[in-house]
Every structure is written in C-alpha cells, then in structure tokens.
C-alpha cells in the first residue's frame, strides 16, 4: 500500500464507494420514516462529511456568507470527479438538493437513499423529458423554498479549465425568477488523478462567487446569462489554480528549510 501509488489509489476509491453504499444502506430505513423529503439531505450530508478526514483533505471555503439567502436559488458548480461530493457537502445549504442523472436512481440502496433525500433526477438524453423536469422544478422551488445544485458542464471534467455549460440550470433559474449562485472548486490535480491512478492528501479550495440575479430576464436572455456565468467561473478557476500552486510551493519550501 505504501510503495504503490496505483494500489493506494484503488484502495482509497474502493473505500470511497463502499462507504457510500454502506451509509446509504444504513440510513435509508431512517429516512424512509419521513418519506421522500429534502430534509433527508441532512442525513446524507452528515454521512459524507467524515470522508475528508479519512483522506487527509483540507477544505478551504471562501465566500460562504453568500449562500445565506432567505429564498430559493440555483447553485451552479464545476464538475471534476466523484470527489465533488466531499466539496458539495462542505457548503451545501439547508433545503438544497442536487440534480442528478437518472441512471443513479437504479443503483440499489444508493439510488433509494438519493430518492428519499429529494434529489431530482433528469434524463440527459431526452430533451423533452428534461424540459418537463425543469418546468416542474421551477414551480416546486418557489412553492417549497427549495434550492437546487446543478453541475452545468453535464459531465466530469478533470482538467484545469471548464467545459461549455449546458443551459438547463439557467433556464431553471430564469423560469423560477431566482438568483444563481456560482461555486468553483479548485482543481484536484495536485493530489488526485483518475488517469494517473494517484490519490494523496491535499488542500481543496471552494470559492462562492457573488450571486447573479435573474429577475426580469426571459428565455431569450439565457444564452447571454450562461456565457457571463461561465466567464466568471472560468476566471475564478484560473486564479485559484495559480494561487493553489503558489501556496503549495511555499509550503514545500518551508518543509525543505525545516
């Protein structure tokens, strides 16, 4: 385990997946007493919070006060790997649920736990079905004071730059007339890489950007809205990548001097 980074990576990922399955299996019966409810997200969050300590990942959160909004809003966040779960539970506000691909619903007790937690499932390859989910969610957000977490890249992107955004999250925000809160998670490249089979300890920065208002906007404004949010998040990601490298170089120099 100590001599092979690949074996260490495989062990850590196996533990990660087994932990999720075990927690879903243990907590689902308790969540079932309440039924399908966003309040069950608190159980899901509590079960995932210890993972950062097991892996030696230090989380730095900047701008968390920007999530203290009284009403509903849409969170958009970059999507790098399954480790995004660790970052998400670090900052996810109350009454907030992610939008996830529908395939997740069929993963046994994990799918059941997600359904009980109020997670919204969407069929990515059926545009008409996705539009229907967005329309229904927009009404639910305002009626139930619900916040929604979306990964607008639509797929995992381990690089240091972001993929173009899909517009579903922005149509949702405009249709519900609620703010958008962008969140950027710094690249994991320095301590995690599925391609290189590397998983060590490290530091992850989560930056909450200023909210973007959508009140008064219409569907025709969605392309421009999508592009402006992408630009702001891409700029923040680039700055965080440079900053994190500088911080790590300083820490390494201090270690060498000691």
Q: For tokens 């899909």, what's the residue?
A: 166
The whole-angstrom separation of Cα 61 and Cα 206 is 5
Range 198-226 burial, b when 16+ CB lie within 10 A, else e: bbeebbbbbbbbebbebeebeeeebeebb
Percent of the chain with pLDDT over 90: 71
Structure tokens at 188: 């994991």
Banded model confidence at residue 125, pLDDT cuts 50, 70, 90? confident
- pTM of the prediction? 0.90
- Give pLDDT tens digits for 48-67: 999 999 999 999 999 999 99
What digits encode the pLDDT tens for the residues 13-32?
Answer: 999 999 999 999 999 999 99
Taken in order of first residue, the domains within the chain and their CATH numbers are 5-253 (3.40.1130)
What distance in Å separates the CA atoms of residue 167 and residue 144, rounded to the nearest whole number? 23
The number of beta carbons lying within 10 Å of the beta carbon of residue 189 is: 18
pLDDT tens for each residue of 170-191: 999 999 999 999 999 999 988 9
- pLDDT grade, residue 213 (50/70/90)? very high
Largest CA distance in the chain: 61
């Amino acid at each position: 385990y100590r001599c092979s980074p690949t074996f260490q990576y495989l062990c850590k990922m196996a533990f990660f997946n087994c932990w999720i399955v075990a927690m879903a299996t243990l907590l689902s019966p308790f969540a079932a007493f309440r039924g399908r409810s966003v309040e069950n997200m608190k159980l899901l969050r509590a079960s995932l919070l210890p993972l950062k300590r097991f892996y030696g990942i230090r989380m730095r959160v900047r701008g968390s006060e920007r999530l203290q909004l009284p009403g509903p809003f849409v969170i958009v966040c970059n999507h790098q790997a399954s480790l995004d779960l660790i970052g998400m539970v670090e900052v996810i506000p109350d009454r907030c649920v992610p939008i996830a691909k529908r395939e997740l619903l069929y993963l046994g007790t994990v799918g059941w736990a997600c359904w009980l937690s109020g997670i919204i499932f969407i069929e990515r390859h059926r545009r008409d079905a996705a539009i229907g989910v967005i329309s229904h969610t927009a009404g639910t957000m305002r009626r139930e004071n619900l916040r929604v977490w979306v990964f607008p890249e639509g797929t995992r992107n381990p690089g240091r730059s972001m993929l173009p955004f899909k517009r579903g999250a922005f149509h949702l925000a405009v249709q519900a007339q609620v703010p958008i809160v962008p969140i950027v998670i710094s690249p994991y490249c320095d301590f995690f890489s599925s391609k290189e089979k590397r998983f060590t300890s490290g530091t992850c920065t989560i930056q909450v950007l200023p909210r973007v208002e959508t009140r008064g906007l219409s569907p025709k404004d969605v392309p421009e809205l999508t592009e402006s949010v992408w630009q702001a998040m891409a700029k923040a990601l680039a700055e965080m990548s440079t900053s994190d490298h500088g911080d790590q170089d300083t820490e390494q120099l201090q270690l060498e001097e000691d």
